[in-house]
Amino acid sequence: MTDSQRADTVWRKSLASSTQGDCVEVASTDESVLVRDSQNPQGPRLFFSHSEWTAFLTGVRRGEVDPTGPS
């Protein structure tokens, strides 16, 4: 069983999440950081190493990530 399948994996949503449920959930495990669609919790999950996740968050905080996507 992987960390993402464990019943005790704690998933959390941003406090800024939409009331319509349009958001993702994140969980941190010993192995990785997991991301899933909150409307489909049994669906696919993205797996990031802790260093990849830290780099992503750093980019977001610096404004290097465009929330609107490609032009």
Q: Which pLDDT tens digits describe the chain residue by residue (71 residues)?
A: 355 455 678 999 877 776 676 788 999 999 899 999 988 989 999 999 999 999 999 998 999 987 776 66
> pLDDT value at position 1?
39
Q: Exposed/middle/buried for 17, CB within 10 Å: 0-12, 13-18, 19+? A: middle
> pLDDT value at position 33?
96
> pLDDT value at position 28?
95
DSSP 59: H
